[in-house]
Amino acid sequence: MRFSHTAFALPFALAAMAVAARENRGWPGWQKFGLILAAMVCARTCAMAFNRIVDRKFDALNPRTAQRHLPTEQVTLAGAVALCVFSALGLVAASYFLNPLCFYLSPLALAVICFYSLTKRFTDYTHVFLGLSLALAPVGAWLAVKGSSVSGLEALQMLVLAAAVILWLVGFDIIYALQDFEFDRAQRLHSLVVAWGPKNALQAAFLAHMLMCGLLLAFGLLCRFRLAFSIGWLIIVGCLVMEHWIARRRSLNWINIAFFRLNAVVSAVFLLVVATEVIFRGGFRLR
C-alpha cells in the first residue's frame, strides 16, 4: 500500500555508506557499492511485493488503489509470491557477499520490512513500523561498509541518523494516510489519522518532522560537518515546512506534490551535502 515510499530510503543509505567510508572519501569500492545497491533493490522489491500480496483485497476495494496490478490481474498472485521470494533470496545473497554480520542480520531485516504490512490491522502506530523498516537502509549500508568494526562514535552517528529517518517517515506517512482516512475508518484499518483525526495527526506529523530536523543537525555535528551540511539542513527544513503548509491549506489532490516531490528533494539534498562534506573533508570539517 505505501511501501513504494522505500525508494526515498536509497539516498539515506548512500549517505550512510559515504560516511562509513569517509577514510576513502566516501567510496567503498565498486564491488561493495554494487552489493549495497543490489541489497537495497531486493529489499524494496520484496517488501513492496509482500505488501501488495497481503493488501490485495483492501486494494481492490479502495478506489485509489483499485487499478494496481493484483486487483486488476495484470500480475497473478503466484507471480507476486515468486517475485517476493526471489527478492528475499537476492537480499540474503547480497548480504552474504558483503560480510558475515550483514548475512546473519538479513533474515531479521526481511522480517522487519515485511511485518510492517500487517501492522495496520492491529496498531495505530503503523507509521512507526514503516519508519523502522526504512531506517534499516542507512544502518544496513553502514554495516555493509564497516561490518563489526564499528566504533562507539560511529554507532552513535548511525543510530541518530536511523532515528531521524524514522521520524521523517512517521511525519510524511501520516500526511500520505490522509488520502485513505475515510476508507481506513470504514474498513477498521488502523493509523494515527484514524485514531486521532486528521487535524491532530497533522500536528503529530509536524512535531515528528521538527524532531527529525533536530536529529539531522545532531548528526551533522557528530560527523563534524560544517558549511555544506548547514546549507542543506536549511533547505530540508524549508521543504518540510512547505510540505505541512500544503497538507494543511490545500486539497487532497495536492498530497502527492507534498509527498513525492518535496520528500524526494529532502532525501536528494541530504545525500548531496553529506557526499560533499565527505569528499571535500578538508574544507568543511570543524576545526
Rounded to an integer, the average pLDDT of 182-194 is 95
Percent of the chain predicted with pLDDT > 70: 92
User: What's at 287, amino acid-wise?
Assistant: R
Tell me what pLDDT residue 84 has.
97
The per-residue pLDDT for range 4-49, each reduced to its tens digit, is: 455 678 999 999 999 999 999 899 999 999 999 999 999 999 999 9
Rounded to an integer, the average pLDDT of 88-114 is 97
Rounded to an integer, the average pLDDT of 137-148 is 96
Tell me what pLDDT residue 247 has.
83
Rounded to an integer, the average pLDDT of 88-105 is 98
Q: Cα–Cα distances in Å, from 65 out to 58, 232, 257?
A: 8, 35, 18
Q: Name the grid cell of 179.
A: 488520502
With beta carbons less than 8 A apart as the criterion, state whether 157 and 223 touch: yes
The per-residue pLDDT for range 257-272, each reduced to its tens digit, is: 666 788 889 999 999 9
* Low-confidence winner among 152-161, 164-173, 237-246, 257-266 (lowest mean pLDDT): 257-266
Q: How confident is the model at residue 76 (pLDDT cuts 50, 70, 90)?
A: very high
Q: Calculate the average pLDDT of the chain.
A: 91
List b or e across 152-188, with b for residues whose CB sees 16 or more CB atoms inside 10 angstroms.
eebeebbbbbbbbbbbbbbbbbbbbbbbbbebbeeee
pLDDT value at 252 more than 80: no
